[in-house]
Amino acid sequence: MDDFARDPLTPENPWPGLASFSESERRFFFGRDQETQALLRLVRRETLTVLHGRSGLGKTSLLNAGLFPLLRDEARLPVYIRLDHAPDAAPLVQQVFDSLLAACERAAVRCPPPAPDETLWSYFQRRDVEFWNDRTQLVTPVIVFDQFEEIFTAERGDEAARARAAHFFIALSEVVENRPPEAVRSLLDRDPAAASRFEFTRARVKVILSLRKDFLAELESGRKLMPSLMYNRLQLTAMSGGQAYSVITRAGGGLVDDDVARRIIQLAWKNEPAPPAERSNFEFMEIDPSLLSVVCSELNRKRIERGLPSIDIGLLEGADREILSSFYRRSMEGCPDDLQKFVEEELITSRGDRDSRDYLEALTRGDHMRDGLELLVRRRLLRIDERRGMRRLELAHDVLASVVKESRDIRRAREAMLEARRRRIRNAWRVFGATTLCVAVVAVLVVTSEWHRQRVRHDTLMARADSIEKSNYDRALLLHLEAMRTTHDAGDSARLMQRILAHPELITFLRGHEAPAFGVAYSDDSKLLVSSSYDHTAAIWDAATHGLVGVVTSAPTELYGAAFRPKTHEFVTANGDARTVTLWDADTRTKIRDFGDFRATVVSVAFNRDGTMLAACDIEGNVLVWPLAGHAEGTAYQGAHSATNLAFSGDGKLLAVSTTQGILVWQVARPDRALAVLSEKRSGGFYSVAFSPDDRTLAMGESSGYIDMIDMGCLSGSAAQTVFVDLRSVRCGGASPRKPLQGHTEAVRSLAFSPDGQQLASSSHDRTVMIWDVATSKPVVTLSGHTDKVFGVAWRADGVQIASASQDRTVILWHPDASGAVTKLPVDDRVVMALNYSPDGKWLAAASGSDQVVIWDRQSMHRVALSAHEGVVTSIAFSPDSTLFASGGWDRTVKLWRADADAPSAPLHVFPQPGRVTSVTFSPDGSLLAVAAETETTLTDLRTGAVVARYPRQGVRQEELVLAFSADGTTLISGRADGKILLHDLRGAPGTAPRELFKCRDAVSGLALSHDGKRLAASDWHGVVYAWNTANFEKPVVMEEHQKRATGVAFGATSDDLASVGWDRNVILHDMRENLSPVTIGGATARLQAVAVSPDGKQLAAAGFDGSVSLWDIAPAALREQACAIANRNLSSADWPDSAAGAPSFHCVCEGVPCAEAPAGEARTASRERRE
């Protein structure tokens, strides 16, 4: 590490912020005792250990301050290596040897030097290579590769780097797998006696690979070379509240008392310092160690500045989720603009990932760079890493990258705005002349000053929305809406649609709980939803309107599971520490009955399918079942310990309970012993269990994130003996054991089969809900939106909605088929070749790959399917007055129809063609019909039916594929297979050669003229979209966003709004105003072939190879309404980013949803109106 390293930690300064702990700072390293011991056990056990976890969890600190001292106590030598992948760096194997020799020298360990060009295996397995310390102990080297993911990022786009990485990976695999390299095998072939020089039976070195979790897949791609990659692993996860408490109080000593410590934990967990975190919630918390360290170090900095003896509540005032932004801005105080620009442009990638630069090269950027960079290193924003004698400059931590990117985006927006102002001034000079320049400049500045202020605020809000979308989706939507309210950009609506489509499954957030929501259940009639919470309440919701119907409160205790009684509006709650279960009437919101006799916290409840029995369990494993007829006492079921969940089979004959040891299944009629005990040695226990509707399958959710499935036919036991089943080896009818469902990365807390049994929903501590195809065991979709652990999940009885309950205090409603943001209109089972809206917007037509044209009345959505052609229908066009449409197909005909034709209708006219038809279009006055066929293009006068012009194909690949008329009807525009776009002057003499406008890179696949005639757009098979100003047809704007063939273009309501589709399955919205960035709508299930926009610009249609038409509502008002419906709340003062200072602290962004901080007269919520 460079001389500019941070100050060492002291009792007055015990938290490193974003920096990692060093080995010498182990006395300040707390909270990771269990992980340190677990990692040590893994290192003892196998040659290779893989440590993985997401960025910011402290992997480097765990190694340095946690593991390394313990390794030294056991006569092991930790050798820390961060490989340097720069092109001019030493070979990677040589870097390992150099680091080993340096570590030996520092630890006073005798270390034989490697021979020239020696491989890693031959060195470590040579019998004469031994490592002795100064206490004459034989020492085992432990080679620790930190940030090993850089071997994958460095090789991208660089063939030489890929070769170096591949060579090193082979060398490393030889050590790990104790596999002699080719050079050694050749030596032994030549000289068998040389075998005595090597140790073949055991590895004499240990290896640790530490990397980010998101690179595991790339690491696992090398499992054939290194099978050990798959086994000896430790996943580092976020800290619990208890671990965070240890970090704060044990490191901080007398600097922090209990109350403040719990407030800091609450701040790091929920971004709010009040109320203090409850100890009962510690086990459910997930706290980022790097964020916690920054919070502590920032608060401690304030304490020192104010001369306080300890961190008090006053220092926590105003602390919120903007602490990283504040840290970045404070780090940049007093720095020149070009230094900040260097950090933002050079130390993160274009996507916002952390990057590094040669420190010495950075110093050449200016005389002031050395002092500036030294300052930023002392302020812990940057660090200088020593890698093989080269200093690399980088951000101190990955978590800073998003903050730096946000600042960069805002700065770039400001620079673009200033450039626009300069252009206006230059234009003023040209327009008004030198004599009136001053007046013009003053006018421009006056007009733009307020615009500038609003623009900065708009860009700040939008950048913040972008940065938090993945972690805080509803807040991102609301900040986006506020940005649109501040200064509405033309592209904002398209970006909002893209944001909404990023979560097409999400219907809405239900907010009403003040603590984590644990259980969730639907009534059988799909009308009601109940959610139970740690805030001591169960909330009853209207499943259709999403409104809060009412709240019930039992004993003052946290509520866990909830379940509706079948065929009724009665539901039951597990009353936690009250050790009871309560049956409620949801309609009257009154208590029906309590059930007791538990000895510990009650966590789960369930009814049998006919609602005649109720079961519940507590955390000690007490399982009770009550018959609900009369008031009989509950029956206790024997054998469970540490129960977590339970479920009845559909026929009510079996009861399954998940525990931290395994799954127990009882026959309901035999409570004295379990029918079967299921276990999985891989698992640390089970959190959830569910029967399929047909009772053939039992699903079990592990703490590891796996989901096990077993056929119930496998569980056949005698009346006197329990069957013990190992889920890894159980075989039914000779079949192999079912493989677990793998997708979640943390514990699976709840399972629910869909009503038809074809899908399984699972919720997890990894903050997601997953839906699985039961038949294939494959994931169908992952639902992301919660910001904390997801405890409960339930299907609505009709199968069209899912609810999930989370520690983030919300319940989210989901579309399981991702149908929320898009409407699907079926056409047939073939490709849809063309789409068109009628000019009056009344009709939408689709041409199919079979023989049909399908017409929808957009007001009633009445569908008419016409058997229009014999074979593929390729093109469809409406007349200007919307009363007719023409269709063309591969049957060599064009047919004219009434727009309101019904299914039995015959065409008004049939026009035979010389070849397959590829395009039809009407002239602006409706008098002419242009048709492109294989051999020629024709113009037909619709008044007489006569062909008035012919344009024969001139050669190979010169057939015209797409057609369009100019706005005045004097020019026919055609796109050819050879890529040329031609302009046919209809006023010229017959035989006049067309004018070539442009040659595209491949065949022209689409043409569109804007409604005002000001722009022409085209697409080609190369994936390129072009746009011309029709006033002069100068050089086109070229857009290359599609990754595969572009197949169609369509203008919106204005000539600035253009949509395109392609075989990359993307719809791309291009905004032609000042070259704004395009918006991509992905997610199509098949290649797209056609696109259309309604004349009013409010609806977008796209279709392709899945045989259906997808419709999106793109009207700004509708998008705002949809965003508000999803968020289901308003911004609060705590939601405003610091960088939007000067903005109002509160106002309602959305109507009709909670405005909790509004004045009393302005509050507008459905629930409040009901209570009033």
The 3 state secondary structure assigned to 329-397 is: HHHHCCCCHHHHHHHHHHCECCCCCECEEEHHHHHCCCCCHHHHHHHHHHCCCEEEEEECCEEEEEECC
What is the secondary structure of 404-450 as a DSSP string?
Answer: HHHHHHHHHHHHHHHHHHHHHHHHHHHHH-GGGHHHHHHHHHHHHHH
Q: Which residues contact 808 (CB under 8 A, 6 or more apart)?
A: 516, 786, 787, 788
Size (the chain), residues: 1172
pLDDT of 1074: 60
Contact present, 1086 and 832 (Cβ < 8 Å): no
Structure tokens at 115: 């021979």
Which pLDDT tens digit goes with each residue over 129-169? 899 988 888 999 999 999 898 888 665 556 788 888 889 99
Residue 447: is its pLDDT beyond 70?
A: no
Nearest to 388 by CA among 101, 653, 759: 101
Q: Which of 860, 870, 859, 830 lies closest to 846, judged by CA?
A: 830
pLDDT tens readout for residues 353-397: 778 888 788 888 777 787 888 778 767 678 776 555 566 888 876
Q: List, as one string, the DSSP characters of 1048-1061.
A: EEEE-SSTTEEEEE
356-358/1088-1093 β-pairing: unpaired
**948-977 average pLDDT score:** 91
Using CA atoms in the order 128, 131, 137, 142, what is the torsion angle rounded to 10 degrees? -130
- List the strands of the sheet with 768-773, edge to edge: 748-753, 759-764, 768-773, 778-784
DSSP 8-state assignment for residue 172:
H
Rounded to two decimals, the pTM is 0.62
pLDDT per position as a tens digit, 300-351? 888 888 888 998 877 776 555 566 777 788 788 888 888 888 999 888 887 6
Give per-residue pLDDT as tens, 694-707: 999 999 999 889 99
- C-alpha dist (Å) from residue 661 to 639, 644, 724, 752: 11, 10, 13, 21
- Cβ atoms of 705 and 746 within 8 Å: the answer is yes
| pLDDT tier, 850 (very low <50, low <70, confident <90, very high otherwise) | confident
List Cβ neighbours of 640 (8 Å cut-off, separation of 6 or more).
Answer: 617, 621, 622, 623, 657, 659, 664
pLDDT bracket for residue 492 (50, 70, 90): confident
In angstroms, the CA 126 to CA 120 distance is 10
Segment 500-522, tens digit of pLDDT: 887 888 899 998 898 899 999 99
CA distance 9 to 19: 11
- Note whether 925 and 939 are within 8 A (CB): no
Q: Tell me whether the omega of the peptide bond preceding residue 737 falls within 30 degrees of 0, making it cis.
A: no
pLDDT class of 971 with cuts at 50, 70, 90: very high
CB 886 within 8 A of CB 876: yes
pLDDT at 736: 64
Mean pLDDT value across the chain: 85
Classify burial at 13, counting beta carbons within 10 Å of its beta carbon; exposed 0-12, middle 13-18, buried 19 or more. middle
pLDDT at residue 761, rounded to an integer: 96
Average pLDDT over residues 729-743: 75
Q: Which stretches does DSSP call E strand in 1012-1146?
A: 1015-1020, 1025-1029, 1037-1039, 1046-1051, 1057-1062, 1067-1071, 1076-1081, 1088-1093, 1099-1104, 1108-1113
CA proximity to 547, closest of 1025, 1143, 1152: 1152
**What pLDDT is stored for residue 983 in this prediction?**
94
Half-sphere exposure (Cβ direction) of 306: Cα atoms closer than 13 Å: 13
Quote helix, strand, coil % in the chain, to nearest 5.
Answer: 25, 30, 40
Looking at the DSSP bridge assignments, the partners of residue 49 are: 208
Report percent pLDDT > 70 for the chain. 88
- List the end-to-end C-alpha distance of the chain, in Å, as a whole number: 65
In order, the DSSP letters of 768-809 are EEEEEETTTTEEEEEEE--SS-EEEEEE-TTSS-EEEEETTS
User: Distance between CA 216 and CA 851 in Å, rounded?
Assistant: 49
Among 226, 123, 100, 113, smallest CA distance to 183 is for: 123
Among the ranges given (201-210, 419-428, 800-809, 1146-1155), the one the predictor scored with the smallest mean pLDDT: 419-428
More confident residue, 493 or 910: 910
Q: Which residues pair with 856 in a beta bridge?
A: 844, 863
Name the region of 173 (left: φ>0; alpha: ψ -120 to 50; beta: rest). Answer: alpha
Task: Please tell me the predicted confidence (pLDDT) of residue 156.
Answer: 52
Q: Residue 428 — pLDDT band, cuts 50, 70, 90?
A: low
Q: Give the side-chain half-sphere CA count within 13 A for 811.
A: 31
Of residues 746 and 275, more confidently modeled = 746
> What pLDDT band is residue 1158 in, cutting at 50, 70 and 90?
very low
- Whole-angstrom distance, CA of residue 199 vs CA of residue 573: 64
| Span 671-722, pLDDT tens digits | 988 888 998 766 678 999 999 999 999 999 998 899 999 988 877 655 567 8
- Residues 1030 and 801: their CA atoms lie apart, in Å, by 49
**Whole-number Å distance between alpha carbons of 609 and 613:** 9
